[in-house]
């Protein structure tokens, strides 16, 4: 029974790609936080506040990146894909095991980055195979014998460019917390609440997200409560910065 695992040098490739994305998001987030801080303080006060904000944000962001890479390496080291005559199974640390019977596989897709996506009959039954998998050519042959491999060409811009939704959320949050205009606050809070609720439900149902990350996602509800509270206070005119 073939057992496919991540190549020894695979994590370095993934780490480099992830770091590039995180740095872009971090710079944008830092810019928004800095602008918001300047706008919230009086001219004689923000000169001290801004440098402190930048230092604190950088420390927290750096610590978060370090923890992210540590967890990511643990997950990748434990990743295993097995194929037998009847099933394809994906095993990973602290993550629900996904087992798909060959007959239940709806489609097998190959992305432009050479990642395989194996979809079962249920929306949650998806196996992602990173391009850093060992014995890549052999795996591709095995998969094509089970189901013909199609080129993944998503027309969904949020799926093709996931960073868009991050920037969208940051912009909407800036509108909710940074503006006192009731129309702007309301127009920003409605889609923001919808995105947060949708994201929370998707995380909880996703079988490719580890259990610790799912538990941590409950903190999203604190952010949701804060957004709803600020929106109500601003709409009723009782908000005090």
Summarize pLDDT for 147-176 with one digit per residue, the tens. Answer: 999 988 766 666 666 667 777 888 898 889
Of the candidates 136, 94, 91, 135, which has an alpha carbon nearest to the alpha carbon of residue 115? Answer: 136
Strands 107-110 and 149-151: parallel
Burial 166-192 (b: 16+ CB within 10 A, else e): eeebbebbbbbbeeeeeeebeebbeeb
Q: How far apart are CA 189 and CA 184, in angstroms?
A: 8
What's 94's DSSP letter?
A: T
- At 30-45, the pLDDT tens digits run 676 666 555 555 444 4
User: 73 exposed, middle or buried (CB, 10 Å; 0-12, 13-18, 19+)?
Assistant: middle
pLDDT of residue 45: 47
Does the pLDDT value for residue 20 go beyond 80? no
């Amino acid at each position: 029974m073939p057992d496919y695992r991540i190549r020894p040098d695979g994590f370095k490739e993934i780490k480099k790609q992830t770091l590039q994305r995180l740095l872009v998001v971090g710079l944008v987030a830092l810019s928004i936080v800095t602008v918001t801080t300047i706008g919230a303080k009086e001219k004689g006060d923000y000169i001290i506040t801004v440098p402190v904000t930048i230092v604190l944000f950088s420390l927290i962001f750096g610590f978060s990146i370090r923890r992210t890479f540590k967890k990511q390496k643990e997950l990748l080291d434990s990743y295993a894909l097995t194929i037998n005559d009847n099933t394809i199974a994906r095993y990973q640390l602290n993550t629900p095991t996904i087992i798909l019977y060959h007959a239940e596989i709806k489609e097998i897709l190959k992305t432009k980055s050479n990642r395989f996506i194996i979809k079962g009959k249920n929306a949650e039954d998806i196996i992602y195979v990173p391009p850093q998998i060992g014995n890549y050519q052999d795996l591709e042959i095995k998969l094509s014998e089970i189901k013909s491999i199609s080129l993944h060409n998503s027309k969904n811009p949020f799926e093709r460019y996931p960073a868009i939704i991050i920037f969208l959320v940051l912009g909407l949050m800036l509108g909710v917390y940074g503006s006192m205009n009731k129309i702007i606050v309301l127009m920003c809070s409605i889609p923001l609440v919808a995105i947060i609720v949708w994201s929370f439900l998707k995380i909880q149902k996703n079988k490719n997200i580890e259990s610790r990350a799912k538990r941590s996602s409950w903190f999203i509800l604190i952010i949701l409560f804060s957004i709803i509270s600020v929106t109500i206070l601003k709409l009723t005119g009782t908000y005090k910065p």
